[in-house]
Amino acid sequence: MTPGDKKLYLFLLVPAILVLLLFVGAPICQSIFLSFHRDIIALPQLKTPFVGLDNFGELLRDPVARHSFLITVIFVATTTSFELLIGLLIALLINHRFPGRGALRACVLIPWAIPTVVSAQMWRFLFNDAYGMINYVIFGVESARYIPWLAMPGTALSALIIADIWKTSSFAALLILAGLQVIPDELYRAARVDGAGSWRRFWHITWPLIRPALLVALLFRTIDAFRVFDLAFVMTPGGPADATNVLQLYGYKKMFVEGWMGYGSAISVSVFLIVLVLAIIYLRTIGRHLMEARA
């Protein structure tokens, strides 16, 4: 690569870097700045120029914030586990050659292609206790029994989890399928010659070689699940009884409903730091597994 090529590459990168700084870097810096201030829109007389870490200390003492964090952890752990499992099964299925495989792959990606707000609204209709299709399927059209799925704390979070699993399992399947595509067929043919069955071929060939792809899927899905907002906002708005009040939704309520800009920014910055730490841990793990796989 000549010095002229390097200058050309840097010149071509400048627009992308400027866009990232404008639409990503600037909001992050503004949120960090506000998190160190007590800024209340409705009560400007109580605005404090600088309060240091007081907002974060109040966040640690806030029982609603601790409850929201617990709800978020439950949501992330459950959805990520099921999405990876279902995604693995889907990827193993569509990796085989059979008539109509291309059409099936396209159909699998439909839930992921639907905007989250649209899919959330669809699932809100499905779980509706008065006219929802799920109650009709379980109890029948003529039955007077029904379950208020979105009106009870136990079932509301479950409904949210089901909706997220339905939408994003296909994304995990796509990432895992990419890992399956790079496994040489010669390994499977050699294993069949040696008399290895389907389970032994999966456990000794497929599983070790797709672990990097699984870790990449785990990284993306964990980060995305921790940032969940629109699904909860449309389906339940955090209710009932804060049963689906995830951290991002709680920060939105503090900022744009109650007007506590500084405290809401502290919540957003905390979510950002949690996601950053998880990303670093996952990336180090992925790097180690990639080095082991190459060795």
- What does the block give as tokens for 161? 């989890």
pLDDT at residue number 52: 84
What does the pLDDT look like over 110-157, one tens digit per residue? 898 899 999 999 999 999 888 888 988 888 776 667 888 999 988 999
pLDDT of residue 165: 95
More confident residue, 5 or 210: 210
pLDDT at 93 exceeding the cut of 80: yes
**pLDDT exceeds 60 at position 293:** no
Contacts of 109 (CB under 8 A, 6+ apart): 170, 174
Q: What percent of the chain has pLDDT over 90?
A: 33
- Highest mean pLDDT out of 38-42, 114-118, 279-283: 114-118
Structure tokens at 130: 């008065």
Region 75-84: what's the mean pLDDT?
94
Residue 47: the pLDDT is 63
Query: How much of the chain exceeds pLDDT 70, in percent?
Result: 92
Average pLDDT over residues 51-64: 90
Give the pLDDT score at 257: 86
Q: Which of 116, 130, 124, 126 is nearest to 236 (CA)?
A: 124
pLDDT band at 56 (very low <50, low <70, confident <90, very high): very high
> 17-31, 165-179, 184-198, 276-290: which range is least confident on average?
276-290
The string over 101-127, giving b where at least 16 C-beta atoms fall within 10 Å of a residue's C-beta and e elsewhere, is eeeebeebeebbeeebeebbebbbebb
Q: In the prediction, which pLDDT does 81 show?
A: 94
pLDDT tens readout for residues 191-221: 888 888 888 888 888 888 888 888 889 888 9
User: How many Cβ atoms from other residues are within 10 Å of residue 97's Cβ?
Assistant: 6
> Averaged over 44-72, what is the pLDDT?
86
Stretch 54-74: mean pLDDT: 93
Query: Can you give the pLDDT at residue 290?
Result: 61
Helix residue ranges per DSSP H, 109-229 = 110-113, 116-126, 133-139, 153-181, 185-193, 198-201, 207-226
Q: What is the pLDDT of residue 46?
A: 61
Domains and CATH numbers, the chain: 75-294 (1.10.3720.10)
Closest CA to 166 of 86, 230, 104, 59: 86
How far is Cα 62 from Cα 28, in angstroms, rounded to an integer?
A: 23
Q: Which residues contact 57 (CB under 8 A, 6 or more apart)?
A: none
pLDDT of residue 227: 87
Residue that the structure tokens 């693995």 belong to: 88
Average pLDDT, stretch 159-165? 95
